[in-house]
Amino acid sequence: MTNPDDYNRQVIEEFRANGGKVGGPWEHTPLLLLTTTGAKSGERRITPMGYMPDGDRLIVFASAGGAPTHPGWYHNLLAHPEVTVEVGTETFDALAAVTEDSQRDRLWTKGVKLYPSLAEHQAKTTRQTPVIALSRRES
């Protein structure tokens, strides 16, 4: 299997070279690049991920493919909610907020309809998949 860091680097390069479009398993999925600040290291980290629009926000899901623990990027944005988002050819600063209660439930239901694999990921783990809203920060 390919090293996840190498795979992500390839996806990031393809995304940036093609105005936000990538092939392979991501070809028909809206994709963004989320740059977080490491919770412990303080280093900037870029993670490609699918997203769902919700009004003027972009919604991402910390499913980690159904892993038993939350993905590293999720811990990073809890520690440092100021993030950078690249979508298409646009880059902007955003604030990440974990959704809760009825808002989370509404977005989760919408997300599962759009991306049925989210339900498969959730079924693999006992943790609840966090649903995160990315809101553009005014400059």
All structural domains of the chain, each given as residue ranges with its CATH number in brackets, are 4-136 (2.30.110.10)
Q: Are 78 and 98 in contact (CB under 8 A)?
A: yes
Q: How many residues does the chain have?
A: 139
* 138: confidence class by pLDDT, cuts 50, 70, 90: confident
What DSSP state is assigned to residue 20? T
Confidence (pLDDT) at 5: 80
CA distance 93 to 122: 29
Residue 28: predicted pLDDT: 87
* H or E, element range at 65: none
Give yes or no for a contact between 29 and 43, defined as CB atoms under 8 angstroms apart. no
At residue 88, the pLDDT reads 95
Of 1-5, 11-15, 41-45, 98-102, minimum mean pLDDT range = 1-5
pLDDT score, position 96? 98
Measured between alpha carbons, how far is 84 from 96 in angstroms, rounded to an integer?
10
pLDDT tens digits, one per residue of 25-44? 888 889 999 999 999 999 99
Please check the confidence at residue 2 and state whether its pLDDT lies above 70.
Answer: no
Tens digit of each residue's pLDDT (9 = 90 or more) over 99-125:
999 999 999 999 999 999 999 999 999
Residue pLDDT, tens place only, 75-101: 999 999 999 999 999 999 999 999 999
What is the mean predicted confidence (pLDDT) over 10-36? Answer: 94
Q: How many CB atoms lie within 10 A of CB 45?
A: 16
Q: What is the pLDDT of residue 4?
A: 73
* C-beta separation of 87 from 20 below 8 A: yes
State the number of CA atoms in the 13 A half-sphere of 39 facing the CB: 10
